[in-house]
Structure 1
């Protein structure tokens, strides 16, 4: 492990020698080094004013040195050198990220780096943006925007314990459209890595590859994340109950004094975390209850552009058939929904033509999962700019205050969620303002009902630019992963990132663990070459019978983001094709 500490004046001479050895590593001759020596020297009286720090590994002598110089809004990374024998072990990355964090603490808004050409690739990979050069050096600049207000409020600015209880959350609703064995839910529990910007521990139902977390740690600047995986068996108790049943583990997780963050709240999680439990607090996870809430808020006024679609509860299949048949005769398309389906499960669009071609409404319904149905008016779109599926994310803190996180553009095929994109300019202004206002209003109602934690409100844009709220989710979601990853990348890399969650990337062949790790490393390298970041989000599904992975990509421009997404898919296809040959 690399540890950063403040340098001492009496170390100045030894640190100067380290700097010169590091510079010489790139093949520079004695004469050149002698000319550079005055600029590279660290004098004892300068150690404090130049904010010199050193990197250590264990109790060894310093293996790296860096300085952060300047005052006001603009700082300079004056030095960053690593002992040649320690290059490649993460020392330079640790020093750089320490300098970025310290500069932000000091109120600096821009950090300038004049880098040796041999180190240019290192700074590019860490997110610094090239801005020219002078005297044979390559100049980089790093924007240091303050974090969004919600970041500090979510977990109090601290690391957190993340509990991947996706299956446990889904099971409490018993929705007929959900997989009874919760196979997919256990894979999606890997998203626990992104339940906050900085995990201290992950608790997971299935075993995960160690290489997966190592790559995430390097990309996101995590250190010493504890992992407790393989805790849930098929058909067994929920993850929170398993943890509670292991006394030493429960004491360890709750004794860290850090927030416990689940995918969603359950009675068992409340017992584990020592929180009050009210099942009523989740009432608006129901699509029918959420719809009624949307109607009340819209009827109260103040939300122009929000159009709530009609919805009717069909208590029997006969009642659903009559409603569907009547709408089809009128030439109207319909959305059929189960009460608590997730990610598009249990939601089906049925056109008037579908009903005719199937031979009637009853024939259509026989193809759907059993259980009560909601019959909803279909909203024809897309809206302006081709925008169709959108979402608002926010959360309610422990005191009942609503915090706005932001809005995202979702990728939905039919009714199935495939991913989301967040970042500046992703959602057009005509949609952003009404979404933020309506999402805030929903959040206040959720808080009044007792909900504490993350929530979202999904919208569909119609052809006239209206926004139809379609459901609320009282838990973490795919878009929330993008917000968390973006917040962390902004912190450790500077600037502001566009982030895209790709829910499923098909592999075409099951991969051995070693080959999956190679795929991840090669993809991360390729994305870095494009100026993007690759974060594997769901690795365990690569070992499923029909293998796939979930991923996150991030970049600062739409072009780089699209290129990275294309690269991820092409790498996945190539591996599958290679195994079949």
Structure 2
């Protein structure tokens, strides 16, 4: 389907379609006759009312909509679908087109006076029930605040769809942080599915693992994507790098290059730079190192101007003996400590060591025997409020990127869910970051971005913080790649453009499923969760589907809503649905490879 502008010479044809669509709700002939003058489209009104038409590939008209009035307030005057085409996404396509055009026109408030039969559709599209009456008792008033994609989102890919590369394992392997281990590489290949959300709109997606048939189409319907070319299953059971697999497929590389579209990777590597023509500078990724990032933070703070930022002490232990000495001194002083490896993702390689844990383990050496070999970083633990304390959230992050010209874009702050040092999810959106924290968080994130730009780095970055409970933030690391919060920012930008401003988006790293599912029941589960979330006024997006086929199955997902309570309810609904799977599919024989393509 496509949308085009209406023509004056088809006014009568469109009027007839409107009446057929209205009649599909079961109204009698007398009522329809009374409505006919109001619903009629006149030839001279087609341009004035900004009539748009949805048509199929053969030019058949499937639906009609209108954007009426002038900024700052306008109305969705018509939205009607040919009865035979209802359920095919025509209404969704037209609605989103009107919202897009309203944003371009500068409309700040789009009013919809809806037939009660269509009220469910507008709620599902994200419209909010209006505060004022529409003046016609039988109609329901809805409102939308149209906004275009934010400037940062357009700058990220130059306003164009992009080729997304899920090279999570490749990125981490270049730092020698253990991603060569088969279990951890398998997990990285699952998380590569998040590359679908590396920009607000993908044109092509390159993935190491096979993904479910209908997954990208389901996600695309929620996020208004055009057809996405999916190249999956590139890395076989024996492992290997995604870029190596691409190099072994010159026809595919040529096909992607011919699109002329920008490439967006989960993280840049020298090998990926070679195949895309984006040279990776010497030392460009140095601040992915936790100790290098700490030195960067110290240099920024030494120059002043960030009074609400405090830097925890950090010491490098080159040997286990040195780590024992440093950690033992802190334990004797009754201090909690964070022990880190130089690299690691999502909290891997980060351990919180308390005096109590040392006693329970039988001493410092016993604790350290459980940690990875190699140099370790010993860092002060910053005490702070728990999530439910009055002081607010504990773990925050600031995301941004450095564009090709070295300009720093700060996207915003997010609140992360961190459990025992490990990342478990994040929430972005209006007022998520406490007011006291937002300005210092963004200011320090921008300062880090400028340092990264000066060092030659180009790409996405974030700065992670912990709150100390007294109105200060302690930066803990930088990530020179995309992350879970960055995915949430991309989805929030896209939903705001499709459905109106103000979305909160939460990404949940993984939730266990009660049973391992064949592909068809998994798709049914996602359809049911999407329907139930829509009933709450929320959006559900399955973000990491491939974990559902593991022996210990799990799912990564996003939920979105404008109200924090609705967002919490949607997350709880998805978690309950995931647990329920075990009961629903008890006794179902696992199909294994036979259920997968």
Q: TM-score range by the shorter chain?
A: over 0.9
Equivalent residue, structure 1, for 2:500: 494
Structure 1 residue 193 displacement after superposition:
1.2
Are 1:30 and 2:44 counterparts?
no
- TM-score with structure 1 setting the length: 0.98
Q: Work out the CA distance in 2 between the residues paired with 1:123 and 1:463.
A: 42
Cα drift, residue 442 of structure 1: 0.6
| Residue number in structure 1 paired with 2:591 | none
- Confirm whether residue 566 of structure 1 aligns to residue 562 of structure 2: no
Q: Distance in 1 between matches of 2:88 and 2:458?
A: 41
Q: Secondary structure at the match of 2:487?
A: helix
The runs of 5 or more residues in structure 1 that have no matched partner are: none
Deviations 1:317-341 (A, max 9, x none): 1111111111111111111101111
Partner of 2:150: 148
1:363-442 to structure 2, matched below 5 A, reads: 363-382=366-385, 385-442=391-448
Task: Write the distance in 1 (CA, Å) between the matches of 2:249 and 2:241.
Answer: 13
On the 8 A contact 1:176/1:369 being kept in 2, the answer is no
Aligned: 1:221 with 2:224: yes
CA distance in 1, matches of 2:86, 2:159: 32
Note the alpha carbon deviations across 1:556-577, whole angstroms, 9 max, x for none: 0101001001000001011123
CA contact (8 A) 2:169 2:179 kept: no
| Deviation by residue 1:118-150 (Cα, 9 ceiling, x = unmatched) | 111111100111114432111111111344331
Give runs of aligned pairs for residues 119-518 of structure 1, distance below 5 A: 119-131=118-130, 132-135=133-136, 136-176=138-178, 179-181=181-183, 182-382=185-385, 385-518=391-524
CA shift, 1:299, in A, is 1.3
State the SS of the aligned residue for 1:385.
coil
Distance across 1 between alignment mates of 2:271 and 2:241: 8
**Alpha-carbon distance between aligned partners in 2 of 1:284 and 1:93, rounded to the nearest angstrom:** 44
- 1:263 Cα offset (Å): 0.3
SS in 2 for 1:295: helix
Three-state SS of the structure 2 residue aligned to 1:464 is coil
8 A contact 1:232–1:238 mirrored in 2: yes
Structure 1 residues 547, 291: closer, same or farther in 2, change over 3 A? Answer: same
Provide the secondary structure at the position in 2 that maps to 1:18: helix
* Number of the residue aligned with 1:108: 107
Q: Distance in 2 between matches of 1:139 and 1:357?
A: 62
C-alpha separation between the residues in 2 aligned to 1:270 and 1:237? 17
Deviation at 1:71, TM superposition (A): 1.5
Q: Contact 1:389/1:461 (CA < 8 Å) preserved in 2?
A: yes
CA distance in 2 between partners of 1:192 and 1:276 (Å): 21
Q: Which runs of 5+ in 2 are unaligned?
A: 588-597
Task: Work out the CA distance in 2 between the residues paired with 1:177 and 1:41.
Answer: 64
CA contact (8 A) 2:5 2:52 kept: yes
- Equivalent residues, number: 580
SS of residue paired to 1:417: strand
Q: Aligned in 2, Cα 1:177/1:10: closer, same or farther, shift over 3 Å?
A: closer
Distance 2:529 2:181 in 1: 31
Contact 1:355 1:361 in 2 (8 A): yes
- CA offset digits 1:57-115 (Å, max 9, x no partner): 11042011111111121111111111100000001111111111111111111111111
| Structure 1: distance between partners of 2:541 and 2:134 | 31
User: In 2 relative to 1, CA 70–133 (structure 1 residues): closer, same or farther, beyond 3 Å?
Assistant: closer
Q: 1:540 aligns with which of 543, 546, 549?
A: 546
For the Cα contact (< 8 Å) 1:325–1:355, is it kept in 2? Answer: no
TM, length-normalised to structure 2: 0.95
Partner of 1:87: 86
Mapped partners of 1:482, 1:347: distance in 2? 23
Q: Which moved more, 1:519-528 or 1:272-281?
A: 272-281
- Write the deviation string for residues 416-448 of structure 1: whole angstroms up to 9, x where unpaired: 100001111111111111111111111111111
Aligned-partner SS, 1:70: strand
Contact kept, 8 Å, 1:13 with 1:43, in 2: the verdict is yes
